[in-house]
Structure 1
Amino acid sequence: MSGFDLFWTIFIILSLLPLWKQHQLRAMRVKLIRKIEKKRGSRVITMIHRQESLSFLGLPISRYINVEDSEQILRAIRLTPDDMPIDLILHTPGGLVLAAEQIAHALQKHPAKVTVFVPHYAMSGGTLIALAADEIVMDENAVLGPVDPQLGQYPAVSILNTVREKDVNRVEDRTLILADVARKAVAQVENYVFTLLKEKMSEEKAREIAKALTEGRWTHDYPITCEQLESWGLPVSKKLFKEIYLLMELYPQPPQRRPSVQYIPLPYGEENERRNS
């Protein structure tokens, strides 16, 4: 074999190796998902948005809730019998309001129990989806977030505040148009959150929570903890089981040149300490 042939052989192998690894990861995910389904007698759906390196060039691809996600989840729900529970494993920074509302609406309509599992975070549109569940099961350190609408790079509430604080004659027409859209967006999302919550609590409490989540009380990345959700009377528990954590490990982030976090990946306990002593 010539040096040229050897070069191309190595190049092809290196090009196909990431695809083979991705295929192996997908097979392991399906196997673990099926194990969870048998354990709980449910349909398991995952929506896990992490950066993944899918090409041999190692370029990370960021993910967020989009219409393709809503199409796939709605199809999975249609394939699920009415008497079968649905378990949705959710890990997302958020995304399109339209897609999130479609998913939430479909989950709320499902006759059997719907459980949303949040191992780390479900922000913005992810929170909207979680609110549609009959039960939210979270890691004790996991968080949800506010669902106040964003228009481009600006929070809708901030646009409204800016217009309110300035003389209208000194505000550009474009800003006034944005303010009109922002007003509608905030009202629409608040009313939608209210419709999700009013079946779980009194209408007064549902309206209070809907307003808190959409009025711009916090920044859009504000972490809403399990304790705060419990204080609102939402159906939250901290009984996340180990298979969920194992599944998350099968969605790795792309490796960095110099890792910023490092540890020995073993659970420490008395038995482990005796063995190492």
Structure 2
Amino acid sequence: MFFDLLFLFIVISALQPVMKQKMLESSRQRLIYDIEKKHNSRVIAMIHRQETMSILGFPVMRYIDIDDSERVIRAIQMTDPDLPIDLILHTPGGVALAAVQIARALKKHPGKTTVYVPHYAMSGGTLIALAADEIVMGEQSVLGPVDPQIGQYPAPSIINVLKQKPLSAIDDQTLILANIAEKAINQLEGSIIDILPDQYSKDDKQRIAKILTQGNWTHDFPITVDVAKSLGLNVNTNMPKEIYQLMNLYPQPVRQTPTVEYLPGYRGERENTEK
């Protein structure tokens, strides 16, 4: 009897994470369906959270990759041309090729496209957001520069070496990297000009592309709502509360002791109205 109970306990313990994951997936699908009904749109969520490997339990940071681009493009292709697309982005960036593919597919969709950034969409995430007709950010949300990275160095910084030293004092490897960096900046600048919607003028497209690719900031510089507006981007802060509810259904790996803790629900004047 004891061994039967022990075996049952082991089976339940093993199945519990799987069941919890299935319940989360089901809750996300229901909420995505509700958002689609409310907005009369196709909702696509690309959420990159830190995930835990199933066997060893090591945290792994997700980022934009080719698999993401294939899935997003497939979802766009399966959407009626006139139906709006709401893309929810939460990502540190990733593979430039994958981000450009998603951005171009989003730009070519005939219906209205909106990118929601509840917290952050850096680097490649910003590249995707630029292709949308409208960018909706939270009050504290940020985008980021899209200057190319060559190995561990920003491309503009490599090129800057050529301005600081005579060519005879620069080694061959640095010269090669500078040549690659210049090409990468020109290519990405051209991609941004190509993916920005037609609501922007040609001059605005060129100006925005140069600012974001020429190394005016470090690669992790937070482009806030105010900075984004100063660049001339079509940005607002009309973030639906359902977007944040969806984010809650993409939890980080469970820690033994949470680093942030609070009692659920609103506090203050809105507290009674929410009950």
TM-score scaled by structure 1? 0.92
Equivalent residues in 2 for 1:1-277, closer than 5 Å: 1-3=1-3, 7-53=6-52, 55=54, 57-197=56-196, 199-270=198-269, 272=271
Contact residue 15 and residue 56 of structure 1 kept, 8 A: no
Instruction: Give the direction of change, closer, same or farther, for the CA distance of 1:54–1:33 in structure 2 (3 Å limit).
Output: farther
Output the aligned Cα RMSD: 2.0
| Structure 1: runs of 5 or more not aligned | none
Paired with 2:181 and 2:162, the residues of 1 have a C-alpha distance of: 11
Instruction: Give the direction of change, closer, same or farther, for the CA distance of 1:271–1:41 in structure 2 (3 Å limit).
Output: closer
Deviation at 1:262, TM superposition (A): 1.8
Paired with 2:121 and 2:13, the residues of 1 have a C-alpha distance of: 35
Aligned pair count reads: 274
Contact residue 107 and residue 197 of structure 2 kept, 8 A: no
Contact residue 28 and residue 250 of structure 1 kept, 8 A: yes
SS in 2 for 1:47: strand
1:28-54 residue CA offsets vs partner (Å, 9 max, x unmatched): 100100000011111100000011236
Instruction: Give the direction of change, closer, same or farther, for the CA distance of 1:274–1:155 in structure 2 (3 Å limit).
Output: closer
Paired with 1:36 and 1:227, the residues of 2 have a C-alpha distance of: 27
1:236-258 residue CA offsets vs partner (Å, 9 max, x unmatched): 11111111000000001112233
Instruction: Give the direction of change, closer, same or farther, for the CA distance of 1:234–1:8 in structure 2 (3 Å limit).
Output: same
1:177-225 residue CA offsets vs partner (Å, 9 max, x unmatched): 2211111001111111122336222222221111110000100011111
Deviation at 1:154, TM superposition (A): 1.3
Most deviating of 139-148 and 255-264: 255-264
Amino acid at match of 2:243: I
